[in-house]
Structure 1
Amino acid sequence: MEIVTEKDSDYNDLEKMSLREVLVNINNEDKSVPLAVEKAIPQIEKLAAITSEKMKEGGRLFYIGAGTSGRLGILDASECPPTFGVPFDWVIGIIAGGDSAIRKAVEFAEDDAEQAWLDLQEYEIDSSDVVVGIAASGTTPYVIGGLKKANENGIATGCIVCNSGSPVAAAAQYPVEVVVGPEFLSGSTRMKSGTAQKLVLNMLTTSVMIQLGRVKGNKMVDMQLTNNKLYSRGVRIIMKETGTDEQTASDLLEKYGNVRKAIEAIVRA
């Protein structure tokens, strides 16, 4: 297979560019990412559909990845509870090398084809769950091994990769391939590839949570009220959804501690 993510940049002599030229050229490359994601929407839809189906039945969504890809999975998983008010074990991100690899690279952790399955087993994973491998190159042994073992155990598998025809995609039942081309800085997949993966992750969990009823209208009615900004947002949502005044909305939010419950209380009254 051709590993496009490792190809030389279309730009050269980066150090000779002015600061403005560097920024403009990076931005020009970034503009191509949403178009590449758009082409993958049919694949994303299939992955979102099976994930929704499994999670409606009580299953969980697992991400496995290494380096930037692993960190992006952890980021998306960690944002689901505050955004959608779901338990912390509904969406779980696992990175090669363990939690210490979130901040500091763990040498050769991604080359261990057996470790991902061992990591998944710590969560008593079973056939009700979904495993999504995230790997820009599509060649990461940690991810390939994890997906293959998940398949062998009757677990639905997907992936998010940035090359066509990769081993990771071949190991996934529901592959998502977003080919963004060479990076501005050759091989730096934290750039366009990472942006593409983040966009797909946003689409996946947001669409799934909508399917699971965690959104009302266009509002995050189950969000966790962890700071004053979010509390104020909750008050505004209640006012907009019910037409009540600010004081009533605030009192109900204080009473129930949840936007959805506060709205339901007004509707029942």
Structure 2
Amino acid sequence: MNNLEERGHLLTEQINPNSQNLDQLSSLELVELFNAEDAQTLKAIAMAKNELAKTIDLTTAALRKGGRLFYIGAGTSGRLGVLDAAECPPTFCTPPEMVQGIIAGGAAALLRSSEDLEDKLEDGAQAIAQRQITELDVVVGITAGGTTPFVHGAIDAAKGRGATTICISCVPYEQVEIYADVDIRLLSGPEIVAGSTRLKAGTVTKMALNIISTGVMVRLGKVYGNRMVDVAVTNRKLHDRALRIIQDLTDLNRTEAGYLLERSGRRVKLALLMHWTGVEPETGDRLLEEHQGNLRAALNSTIINS
């Protein structure tokens, strides 16, 4: 690992030649510049597609064995990890412990800047120990500049416990060495405001996390076609979405879909299985459990056995 104190050479710290006159631009010119620069995030994702795919495969395999996915970072990177983890339970009905976000400074750092807490390797290691990380788990370290001691400490500690380690950064390999099982480099270039990695680096990191978590959940069978059939029906919006999913995939009207949803215990996946196969809730539950919650696999098994 390069000297963590030397950061001026990093891609994320360099001066963007396209924004040298930033303070002289009109509001429209500012928007146009941001739009042009943000286009680089798409290219960065495309260049990292193989590493992202490998991350999805490794994480899916780990979660199928009962492992957990942890995101760990400081500042903006930590907040993005916590955000992605927090969105998994309502979107995919995952237990809260399956995907977790860890940020330097804890919950207070979500609302108030705490960048001074990112400088201790031992704090990252301690965070890993507190969660009792094992060889079944996946730890994704997020550090835009690639040098955050808190993240390096966490990755090293996770490796020592046999966990699968991933690192997401926005600097080239030759600028910072990171020792992780998968090393994802999202090269979106210098920021419009030099060093402000909440901009393009933050955007491209959010994109990568979206791809990772959604890709894993798709592989785990929490999506049927492109419908979130494991949606947690916890409010009126999500209840409406659940009804629309059932209506879209069946010939039922809204009243019939509502009755079916209630019979299934407000579980869309089970409701669809009951409708398509005629099984009772208990049998449907057993079928889904036998096929690790994969609706398509459960359906195919009833066709084969019929």
TM-score normalized with structure 1 length = 0.96
Q: Does 1:258 align with 2:267?
A: yes
Question: Take 1:45 and 1:77, find their aligned partners in 2: how far apart are those partners?
Answer: 19
Counterpart position of 1:34: 42
Question: Which moves more between the two structures, 80-89 or 44-53?
Answer: 44-53
Question: RCO (CA 8 Å, sep 6+): is it higher in 1 or 2?
Answer: 1
What is the CA RMSD across the aligned residues, in angstroms? 1.4
Shift, 1:130, TM fit = 0.5
Structure 1: 5+ residue runs without aligned partners? none
Shift of 1:217: 1.2
Q: How does 1:34-73 map to 2 (within 5 A)?
A: 34-73=42-81
Normalised by the length of structure 2, the TM-score is: 0.85
Unaligned runs of 5+ in 2: 3-8, 279-306
Higher Cα Rg, which structure: 2
Task: Give runs of aligned pairs for residues 154-233 of structure 1, distance below 5 A.
Answer: 154-165=162-173, 170-233=178-241
How far is the alpha carbon of 1:107 from its aligned partner? 4.6
Secondary structure at 2:178's aligned position in 1? helix
Partner Cα distance (1:257, 1:131) in 2: 32
After superposition, the C-alpha distances for 1:219-252 in whole angstroms (9 at most, x for unaligned) are 1011111221211111111112122221110112
- Taking a change above 3 Å as real, the CA distance of residues 74 and 52 of structure 1, as seen in their structure-2 partners, is same
Conserved 8 A contact 2:48-2:184: yes
Distance 1:110-1:147 versus aligned 2 partners, 3 A rule: same
The number of aligned residues is 269
Q: How is 1:62-141 mapped onto 2 (pairs within 5 angstroms)? A: 62-141=70-149
Residue 149 of structure 1 is aligned with which of 157, 177, 197?
157
Report the counterpart of residue 31 of structure 2 in structure 1: 23
After superposition, the Cα gap between the structure-2 partners of 1:128 and 1:96, relative to the gap in structure 1 and judged at 3 Å, is: same
**Higher mean C-alpha deviation, range 13-22 or range 63-72:** 13-22
Identity among equivalent pairs (%) = 41
Distance apart, 1:8 and its partner CA: 1.0
- Give the 3-state SS of the residue equivalent to 1:88 in structure 2: coil
Mapping for residues 239-250 of structure 1, pairs under 5 Å: 239-250=247-258
Kindly provide the amino acid, as one letter, of the partner of residue 16 in structure 2: S
The farther-off stretch of 73-82 and 217-226 is 217-226
8 Å contact 1:61–1:90 — kept in the other structure?
Answer: yes
